Amino acid sequence: ELVVTQGFPCPHMQSIASSALRRVVLSASKRSNPLTSSTRRVVNRSIITRSAASMRAIAASVPLSGDAQVSYEALTSRLKKLSSLNDIEGIITWDELVMMPEGASEARGAQKAALAELVHLQATSAAMGEAISAAESAGAAEGCPWRRAVIRDARRDYNDAVRLPAELKAKEAELGAKGYAAWVKARKNDDWASFAPVLEELVALRKEMAAACADPGVSAYDYLLDKFERGMTEERLTEIFGELRTKLVPVIAKILAAKPLAHPPALESGTFAEDAQEAFCKHVSAAMGFDFGTGRLDRSVHPFTGGAGPHDVRITTRYDDSVFMDAVMGTVHEVGHALYEQGLNKEQDGLPVQRALSMGIHESQSLFWERYIGQSQEFWKAMLPEFHANFPETKDVSADDLYRFINKAKAGFIRVDADELTYSMHVVLRFELERALFGGKISVAELPDLWREKMRELLGVVPETDTLGVLQDVHWSDGSFGYFPSYTLGAMYACQFHAKAREEIDGFDELVAAGKFTPIRDWLRDKIHNVGSLYPSADELCEAVTGAPLDPSIYVEHLNKKYSALYGVAE
Amino acid sequence: ELVVTQGFPCPHMQSIASSALRRVVLSASKRSNPLTSSTRRVVNRSIITRSAASMRAIAASVPLSGDAQVSYEALTSRLKKLSSLNDIEGIITWDELVMMPEGASEARGAQKAALAELVHLQATSAAMGEAISAAESAGAAEGCPWRRAVIRDARRDYNDAVRLPAELKAKEAELGAKGYAAWVKARKNDDWASFAPVLEELVALRKEMAAACADPGVSAYDYLLDKFERGMTEERLTEIFGELRTKLVPVIAKILAAKPLAHPPALESGTFAEDAQEAFCKHVSAAMGFDFGTGRLDRSVHPFTGGAGPHDVRITTRYDDSVFMDAVMGTVHEVGHALYEQGLNKEQDGLPVQRALSMGIHESQSLFWERYIGQSQEFWKAMLPEFHANFPETKDVSADDLYRFINKAKAGFIRVDADELTYSMHVVLRFELERALFGGKISVAELPDLWREKMRELLGVVPETDTLGVLQDVHWSDGSFGYFPSYTLGAMYACQFHAKAREEIDGFDELVAAGKFTPIRDWLRDKIHNVGSLYPSADELCEAVTGAPLDPSIYVEHLNKKYSALYGVAE
């Protein structure tokens, strides 16, 4: 998970977005869909067809001078200070979750509120607005896509921030807290009826915010989606998730009907000392190329990646001596997030273009490592000696045993417990409900029944309680509608990046099997990390990296091939 | 040591004042000496003669209403936000010293600069000035000494902040960094000549700052003293340190001429496992009443107390397996600071009156525990079983052995290594030099020779190099003139408080010998911690607690009695 340190008011949000992404999460303005707006695509082609390295060459080749230079420097100076304040928020949030004594929580709340108020004042100041306008009219964006992206995002962030009326901002904070409290209680008591009215208020609030903040003609749901996934729209998502649903449901049904895999008792019911787990996780982190000179690995109740990247990236994990794989895969996942943060372009320190592009792209980096490296046979070949050394009781366990153990597939009710094969269906379900809700096709009251119906359609199981159904996720409790799609978009981007990386990196699988991850990390760094928010949408980044926008069929094909082989059924 | 997170620009200052005191350290306006201004004393009598508890009663008995209430609440709301921002600075400074990965130091510098800029803008805003004026003219100070102190200090802080011209503030930062770098180099190379010109610039800068910021008629040195020790003046210090020098020099000469104490080899050359030291230090901290629910104890290169008291007080210590007593006494010292912070008045959260009164009073709290508890025979009686349990090789060492070991006296060149008996002479030396320098009696060029001369007079030893003499301390390198006196004022306040506590607490020595420190902590909390900055000077607090302003003869008598007995010479 990633830590968001500002944005939506609910505490749970602290565990679902990175501080680098916070600004993405906060952003409110809506641009036209790059995949349906041909004019925009043409403009952006000039960016897309150039690699990050050649773009840096361009930046160097057309230096600024005169008014343009003066105005650009005045703007970036302001932006860097704002970024430093956001970094501070990242550090004190990490501290709160990892170090802070319990008795300080109220004081910490006051500290964060005071800082957020100042950040907001700076971000919405007339001086900031004037600095952006000056850079725009002096032509500071000309001749360099990096500068162009800096000014583009400064404008975007500024417009987002100034458009939100203070009373809606206050209402958001109030309702977020109220919704979270109501949800905790409702989930505990399996009492949907007590939560439904607050959820209705939250939907109404988000609609009101969209009406106030979105660009003309942008729907409320598109406005919300864009906060998490820049450039994404309901139309494009319907296309992507429609194809995913159509093609993946039969694959899932086929696999779930097959005979379950058997596993060695040493894996299923062994005990794994926490210290040995920690040693193993540190070994894996270092092998993946996590830089401890600009990062930390600590323990916390909920694993997350936070801090103030790229110079100070902090990941956490937790250890349970009965389920070693959670800590290992959790660490691999967080290191994936952390490598993205550590790999951000240091030449653009503190500027908007340096930031991670979207929640989906951030998740693509964690899932690239978790799903396509950590869950591969090759990875466990590489790690087997270290694994045996740390857990001597597993000496008879093979890399293939580990591979099969870590890739079990099973239909379940709970999204966060879902495996690779079935996870995306939980997301498709939520997307379809959110889209219908914001499109006025269904009411809040219909959600529990529709939830059960869709679970039956997608995974063939029906939860007996709302706690296991519509009440399971924290996200809606503070109105984070539009967030869920990022998880599965991330998985699909990761899959498409992985396929491309295997094409472009010589001996990819052999490198993984040898535990030599540096060329892989460096490929991601060059293609994705270093590029930050240069592209205005993940689809455009995906096209720059892989030659095509997101294609769900690549993902379905991967799952079909992998799980058919694992479960011994025909593709 | 205490951590200052803002104020003088040099990094070393981070290790010499608490974040709570930062505001004291920063304060610049000079009030008349309470001991020489009879009008003021009369006014303040009404405070002094009442205990904290009865003052709270007064506060409750004269509630505000109407304009006064509105204006007081508007002011305190602003002050609390500012305090929260300062708390954040405390946390990120702690993080920097204890947790931050090395590669983040440049980014952290930018973060702290961005925050400091915002804090300064808030502290000097027209809105803050208007809020203070409104509270003043609405009479919000009437009827309650706490409110009166809040408004008094808000005015003081505001005036201090707005009087300092931006160019002097910038010059202070620049020269502080330059001076620190020059000092590090000069001390390393024993090269006074390379440091002297920068020191001259620093003296000139402080004089210029005093001219710009001090109240009319206040000398530059008084202005500087007041930054660390509220209400203290050169005149009063000359009186205090003059008496101390006259009375203590012969006592020191007598003790140093006596036969040195002998110690068990187990103490002098034993090895003490770091884990056992840590366990022992945690035992001692808990016994002293350090609250781990609102604090932490970690390791760091230089021990300090920091964080964001009173709800989040963080102490650190370091362990060296050859010198266990440094860690133990270091921990006792830091816990003393920490108990002060944890004991600040929570009813006044975030308001200036809550803050620690002065550097000297803060040091009095650390030294109360270090010198009068930790260095006592009774303490080691109480701790002996735990000590033996953690260090089995010391099984033949008695409480008396430990008492003698910890109270060795020896003349040395280096202040920070000095023992209880001789420490104050290092401070008197520096005070006399600073006073003469700012009074125009001596030049910077004369300092090295005068240093040697005074060392001979006071302690009978003469350093052979400037590195062991005039170049040893970091303080002057960023212009922290006026800081040194606080150390010895703290030791003397502690002594006077201790004498009073032994009078007022039944069976004081027996409590210490039983390891029952709660009544002692609570006495300090009630008399000193809880009172915060209610009194406008340490002398007035001292009078409220002990019935008399600071009296150096109490301190000299203590040292004479204790060391004469230890060394077997006549008092």
pLDDT (tens digit per residue) in B107-124: 999 999 999 999 999 999
**Is the domain of B132 the same as that of B246?**
no
Token pair in block for residue B69: 């209430």
Mean pLDDT, chain B, rounded, equals 90
- Residue B60: pLDDT band (50, 70, 90) is low
* CB-closest option in A85, A113, A293 to B101: A293
**In this complex, do B312 and A108 lie within 8 Å of one another by their Cβ atoms?**
yes
Contact status of A414 with chain B (Cβ, < 8 Å): no
Cβ atoms of residues B353 and B145 within 8 Å: no
CA neighbor of A331 nearest in space, from A303, A359, A309: A303
Average pLDDT on B256-277 reads 94
Query: At B295, phi and psi to the nearest 5?
Result: -165, 170
Residue A42's H or E segment, with its range, is helix A38-48
| Identity of the residue in A95, A295, A349 whose CB atom sits nearest the CB atom of B101 | A295
Q: Which of A101, A115, A117 sits opposite B88 (nearest CB)?
A: A115
**Overall average pLDDT of the B97-108 stretch:** 96
Is the pLDDT at B486 greater than 50, yes or no?
A: yes
Instruction: Check whether B10 has a pLDDT greater than 50.
Output: no
C-alpha angle B112-B115-B120 in degrees, rounded to nearest 5 = 120
B107 → closest Cβ in A113, A296, A308 = A308
CA distances from B367 to A385, B19, B362, B430, B498 (A): 55, 19, 9, 20, 10
pLDDT > 90 fraction of chain B, expressed in percent and rounded: 87
Find the mean pLDDT for residues A535-540.
96
Do the chains contact at B111 and A84, CB–CB below 8 Å? Answer: yes
Question: Residue B528 is encoded by which pair of tokens?
Answer: 């000193």
Contacting B residues, span 49-78, partner chain A, CB-CB under 8 Å: none
Sheet-wide strand order for A313-317 = A295-299, A313-317, A305-307
Q: Report, as an integer, the average pLDDT of B404-409.
A: 96
Average pLDDT (A524-550) is 97
If 0-12 CB within 10 Å is exposed, 13-18 middle and 19+ buried, where does residue A142 land?
A: exposed
pLDDT at residue number A62: 79
Q: Is A296 on the interface with B (CB under 8 A)?
A: yes
Contacts with A82 from chain B: Cβ below 8 Å: 114
Distance from CA of B568 to the nearest CA of A (A): 48
Which residues of A does the annotation mark as catalytic?
A: 334
Asked if B80's CB is within 8 angstroms of A104's CB, the reply is no
Is residue A541 within 8 A of residue A357, CB to CB? The reply is yes
Residue A200 resides in a domain? no
A92, A103, A122 member nearest B91 (Cβ): A92
pLDDT, mean of residues A183-211: 97
Q: What is the mean pLDDT of residues A328-338?
A: 96
CA-CA distance, B364 to B489, in Å (whole number)? Answer: 8
Range of the domain at B92: 65-163
Q: Is B311 close to A107, i.e. CB distance below 8 A?
A: yes
Identity of the residue in A82, A115, A311 whose CB atom sits nearest the CB atom of B104: A311
DSSP-assigned states of every residue in B41-102:
HHHHHHHHTS-HHHHHHHHHHS---HHHHHHHHHHHHHHHHHHHHHHHHHHHHHHHHHT--G
What proportion of chain B, given as a percentage, has pLDDT over 70?
89
| Residues in chain B within 8 Å Cβ distance of A91 | 91-92, 95, 111
Give the nearest chain A residue to B309 (CA atoms).
Answer: A104
Interchain CB distance below 8 Å, B115 and A85: yes
Inter-chain Cβ pairs, chain A and chain B, closer than 8 A: 111
pLDDT > 60? residue B413: yes
A223 against A62, higher pLDDT? A223
Question: Is B300 part of the contact surface with chain A (CB cutoff 8 Å)?
Answer: no
DSSP A2: B
Residue A291, pLDDT score: 97
Q: How many CB atoms lie within 10 A of CB B467?
A: 18
Integer-rounded Cα Rg, in Å, for chain B is 23
Supply the pLDDT for residue B309. 85
B115/A88 CB distance under 8 A: yes
- Per the CB < 8 Å rule, is B293 touching A106? no
Question: What is the model's pLDDT at position A54?
Answer: 47
Set of chain B residues whose Cβ sits within 8 Å of the Cβ of A84: 107, 110-111, 113-115
Residues B256 and B400 reside in one and the same domain: yes
Chain A residues within 8 A of B291 when measuring between CB atoms: 103
Nearest CA in chain A to B90: A92
Would you say residue B403 lies in a domain?
yes
Q: Do A107 and B81 count as a contact with CB atoms less than 8 A apart?
A: no
For residue A334, is it within any domain? Answer: yes
Q: CB contact, 8 Å: A111 with chain B?
A: yes
pLDDT computed for residue A2 by the predictor: 66
A308 touches B at CB < 8 Å = yes
- CB neighbours of residue A77 within 10 Å: 11
Please indicate, yes or no, if residue A173 is contained in any of the structural domains.
no
Rounded to a whole number of angstroms, the distance from the CA of B298 to the nearest CA of chain A is 10
* B303, two tokens: 């021990």
Q: Which residues of B are catalytic?
A: 334
Band (A89; pLDDT cuts 50, 70, 90): very high
Q: Which residue of B has its CA nearest to A83?
A: B111
pLDDT tops 50 at residue A40: no
| C-beta atoms of A311 and B103 within 8 A | yes
- Asked if residue A554 belongs to a domain, the reply is no
**Structural domains in chain A (count):** 1
Inform me whether the C-beta atom of residue B162 falls under 8 Å from chain A C-beta atoms: no
Confidence of residue B504 (pLDDT cuts 50, 70, 90): very high
In a domain? residue A28: no
Q: Could you tell me the pLDDT band of residue B61, with boundaries at 50, 70 and 90?
A: low
Least confident of A45-49, B117-121, B258-262, B324-328: A45-49
Q: Phi and psi dihedrals of B514, rounded to 5?
A: -95, 0
| A125 contacts chain B (CB < 8 A) | no
Task: Identify which of B82, B102, B294 has the shortest CB distance to residue A101.
Answer: B294
The reply to whether B112 and B248 lie within a common domain is: no
Choose one of B163, B189, B209: the last residue of a domain.
B163
Among A402, A371, A407, A380, CA closest to A501: A371
Number of helical (H) and strand (E) elements in chain B, helices listed first: 24, 3
ipTM entry: 0.88
The DSSP symbol for B341 reads H
Q: Is the pLDDT score of B272 beyond 60?
A: yes
Tokens of A73: 């420097």
**Number of other CB atoms surrounding residue A199 within 10 Å:** 23
Q: How far apart are CA B469 and CA B452, in angstroms?
A: 7
C-alpha to C-alpha distance for B262 and A283, rounded to whole angstroms: 51
Inter-CA distances, B241 with A405, B32, B220, B233, B545, Å: 76, 20, 19, 12, 21
Q: Do A87 and B107 touch (CB under 8 A)?
A: yes
Statement: residue A248 has pLDDT above 80: yes
Closest residue, chain B, to A110 (C-alpha)? B84
Residues 6+ apart with CB under 8 A from A126: none
Summarised one tens digit per residue, pLDDT across range B349-401 is 999 999 999 999 999 999 999 999 999 999 999 999 999 999 999 999 999 99
Same domain, B249 and B137: no
Total residue length of chain B: 571
pLDDT, mean over chain A: 90
* Alpha-carbon dihedral angle through residues A321, A322, A328, A330, given to the nearest 10 degrees: -100
Residue B310 contacts by C-beta under 8 Å, 6 or more apart in sequence?
A: B294, B341, B342, B343, B344, B346, B349, B354
> How far does B473 lie from chain A, in Å, by closest CA?
31
pLDDT band of residue A283 (cuts 50, 70, 90) is very high
Comparing CB atoms, the residue among B101, B106, B312 nearest residue A107 is B312
**Are the beta carbons of A103 and B296 separated by less than 8 Å?**
no
Chain B residue whose CA is closest to A79: B114
Q: Is B292 on the interface with A (CB under 8 A)?
A: yes
Residue type, A461: V
The candidate with the shortest Cα–Cα distance to A4, out of A530, A475, A354, A542, is A475
CATH for B341 = 1.10.1370.30
Pick from A365, A359, A374, A454: nearest CA to A415: A454
Taking the Cβ of residue B101 and every Cβ of chain A, the question of whether any pair is shorter than 8 Å is answered with: yes
- Residue B522: Cβ-neighbour burial (10 angstroms; 0-12, 13-18, 19+): middle
Q: Which of B100, B125, B285, B299 should we substitute to test contact with A (largest number of A Cβ atoms within 10 Å)?
A: B100
Considering the domain architecture, whether residues B424 and B529 belong to the same structural domain is answered as yes
Does residue B551 belong to the interface with chain A, where contact is any CB pair within 8 Å? no
pLDDT score at B41: 29
- The pLDDT of residue A309 is above 90: no
Partners of A298 in the beta sheet? A316
Residues of A in contact with B342 (CB under 8 A): none
Mapped onto helix, strand or coil, the DSSP state of residue B2 is strand
Same domain, yes or no: B418 and B313 = yes
**Residue at A461 is within a domain:** no
CA distance readout (Å), B542 to A72, A201, B342, B358, B361: 57, 58, 20, 12, 9
State in Å, rounded, how far the first CA of chain A is from the last one.
33
Q: What percentage of chain A has pLDDT greater than the value 90?
A: 87
Instruction: State how far the alpha carbon of A472 is from the alpha carbons of A286, A451, A463, in Å.
Output: 35, 11, 11
| pLDDT higher than threshold 60 for residue B198 | yes
Q: Does B23 score more than 60 pLDDT?
A: no
- Residues B252, B338 within the same domain: yes
Residues from chain B contacting residue A110 (CB–CB below 8 Å): 80, 84, 350
A149 within domain boundaries = no
Residue A231: strand, helix, or coil: coil
Question: Looking at the predicted structure, is the pLDDT value of residue A10 above 60?
Answer: no
Q: Among B48, B141, B23, which Cα is nearest to B535's?
A: B48
Sign of the CA dihedral with A386 first, then A391, A396, and A397 last: negative
Enumerate the residues of chain B whose CB falls inside 8 A of the CB of residue A296: 99, 101
A341 interfaces chain B, CB cutoff of 8 Å: no
Residue where one domain finishes, among candidates B146, B163, B180: B163
Q: Residues B328, B452: contact at Cβ < 8 Å?
A: no
- Write out the two tokens for B346: 């929570």
Pairing of strands B313-317, B295-299: parallel
Answer whether B349 touches A (CB < 8 Å): yes
- H helices of B99-125, in order, are 105-123
Query: Would you state the pLDDT for residue A34?
Result: 28
